[in-house]
Chain A
Amino acid sequence: MIIAALSLKGGVGKTSVVLGLAGSAAERGLRVLVVDLDPQANSTASLDPLRTPYTTSDVLYDGREGVAADAIVDSGWGSMVKLVPSERALEHRAQPVGANSALRLRRALSGVADGFDVVLIDCPPSLGELTRNALHAADAALVVTEPSYFAVQGAEQALEAVAVVREHGNPTLRAVGIVANRVRPTLSEHIYRMDEMRAAFGDLVLGGLPDRSAVQQAQGACVPVQRWQSHGATDISRALDSLLVQLVGDHHATVEARPVLTATPSSGEQQ
């Protein structure tokens, strides 16, 4: 299954969601491939690969059948999570080049995705050539947003983009849902926006991921949040497990009860 995580608004936490799902899937024994399609290369940085001989820039530059296999490297998260890393030069690929330019990633991943249970594509925060490549390559589109006015508007635009690509080139693509990131259920604005999203998008809203500083802490330490020792990490890990089940189904991932940590959370941890 190839899932493209997209949002037309930046800073909502696409990378955090991608990394969180990757960690959750790996913990359940699923083989994960993360394709970093963002020139900022944040996923690449946090997955901490030892070597990056090729990147998504090379993959899109080449664009031939199956060549993405040469760009796959081991991540620092263990053997279950592999990566096609990014680099800033990926920005050069952000323009259409020739006919069927938006199909380059799909061709390059042809036959490659079969070797993984879950492929997660981290898209840049724009509807450009890179995101178009992701949507043409993916089976499922996960819209990431946050409970704010601008982000909800961005989610609507992202869903429209998914519908356009589905109609014009990738009929297998489906919008699997909208996930709101960094939700604080005690804030009235967040409560209002979550209700607004449910009213507008119905069952597409997959729920919210709580705002926990463990996410940034784990990313900075280049480890999955599932391995971060804090109550906040446990909270967000449970939410990510639940999201993963909604995306890949129960037959692929069974959510097991996580042990409640008794260790004192680190200073500054949000609960």
Chain B
Amino acid sequence: MTNPAPRPALRKAPDADVHPARAGDSTANIDLRAAAPTRPAVSRKVAAEGRNRAQVSASDTSLAAADLRATGQLAVPAEPEAEKAAAKEPSKKKDKKNKKGKKGKKKNGQGSARADQRIDVRVAVPRLARHLRNSTPTL
């Protein structure tokens, strides 16, 4: 009589650190900076919608983006040019309305300082998540 095979040890799911709101993404390794194209100056509202669409493109979501997989990092792109231009416009109008010399512009800190502002967020994707494609459980 042979002893029964030992029970397998429970495996940890690799996506424990991936927020459920991203459960539908094809991959966690998306370089949002590279995916954001330059856009012409448009209204703030349209620019906001464009920014959301620009964050993911078909080519960049492919798992063939080996560099991104290797580094396991995500980066949120800088604010698109249109967004910055649109953000400036209301302020400019406001400045023109209330402008006395150059006081309004300097008061709000507009101008070159805003153009240089960018958001650069890096998120460390768990090591195991890079192998998500190869770790589909077999039943």
Q: A62-B137, A98-B137 are in contact. Are A69 and B7 (CB under 8 A)?
A: yes
Q: Which chain A residues in 27-72 approach chain B with CB under 8 Å?
A: 39, 54-55, 57-59, 61-71
Q: Which chain A residues in 75-94 approach chain B with CB under 8 Å?
A: 87-89, 91-94
CB of A98 within 8 A of CB of B10, answer no
Kindly state whether residue A191 has any CB partner on chain B within 8 Å.
no
Q: Which chain B residues in 85-139 approach chain A with CB under 8 Å?
A: 136-139
Which residues on the B side are within 8 Å of A99 (C-beta)?
139
CB of A58 within 8 A of CB of B13, answer yes
- Chain A, 10-34, contact with B by CB distance < 8 Å: what is the 0/1 string? 0000000000000000000000000
Kindly state whether residue B18 has any CB partner on chain A within 8 Å.
yes
Docked CA distance A68–B139 (Å): 15
Kindly state whether residue A170 has any CB partner on chain B within 8 Å.
no
B135 (CB) vs chain A CBs: closest residue? A61
Q: Which chain A residues in 81-129 approach chain B with CB under 8 Å?
A: 87-89, 91-95, 97-101, 103-104, 111
Q: Which chain B residues in 1-52 approach chain A with CB under 8 Å?
A: 7-13, 15-20, 23
CB of B8 within 8 A of CB of A98, answer no
CB of A104 within 8 A of CB of B139, answer yes
Docked CA distance A193–B11 (Å): 46
CB of A64 within 8 A of CB of B8, answer yes
Which residues on the A side are within 8 Å of B11 (C-beta)?
58, 61-62, 67
Docked CA distance A69–B7 (Å): 10
Q: A87-B16, A91-B23 are in contact. Are A67 and B136 (CB under 8 A)?
A: no
Which residues on the A side are within 8 Å of B20 (C-beta)?
39, 88-89, 91-92
CB of B138 within 8 A of CB of A89, answer no
A42 CB to closest chain B CB (Å) equals: 16
CB of A100 within 8 A of CB of B13, answer no
Give the interface SS of chain A, mostly helix, strand, loop or mixed. Answer: helix
CB of B23 within 8 A of CB of A70, answer no
CB of B8 within 8 A of CB of A67, answer yes
CB of B137 within 8 A of CB of A97, answer yes
CB of B16 within 8 A of CB of A98, answer no
CB of B13 within 8 A of CB of A61, answer yes
Indicate which residue in A58, A88, A91 contacts B10 across the interface (CB closer than 8 Å). Answer: A58
CB of A58 within 8 A of CB of B12, answer yes
CB of A92 within 8 A of CB of B15, answer yes
Indicate which residue in A70, A89, A100 contacts B15 across the interface (CB closer than 8 Å). Answer: A89
Q: Which chain A residues in 196-213 approach chain B with CB under 8 Å?
A: none
CB of A98 within 8 A of CB of B138, answer yes
Which residues on the A side are within 8 Å of B136 (C-beta)?
97-98
A62 (CB) vs chain B CBs: closest residue? B11
CB of A63 within 8 A of CB of B16, answer no
B135 CB to closest chain A CB (Å) equals: 9
Which residues on the A side are within 8 Å of B10 (C-beta)?
54, 58-59, 62, 67-71
Docked CA distance A92–B18 (Å): 9
Which residues on the A side are within 8 Å of B16 (C-beta)?
55, 57-58, 87, 89
CB of A67 within 8 A of CB of B137, answer no
B9 (CB) vs chain A CBs: closest residue? A70
Which residues on the B side are within 8 Å of A89 (C-beta)?
13, 15-18, 20
Cβ contacts A to B, 19 pairs, < 8 Å? A58-B10, A59-B10, A61-B11, A61-B137, A62-B10, A62-B11, A62-B137, A67-B8, A67-B9, A69-B10, A87-B16, A89-B16, A92-B15, A93-B13, A97-B137, A98-B137, A100-B139, A101-B139, A104-B139
3 closest A-B pairs by beta carbon, nearest first, are A91-B20, A70-B10, A61-B13
B contacts, CB < 8 Å to A: 7-13, 15-20, 23, 136-139
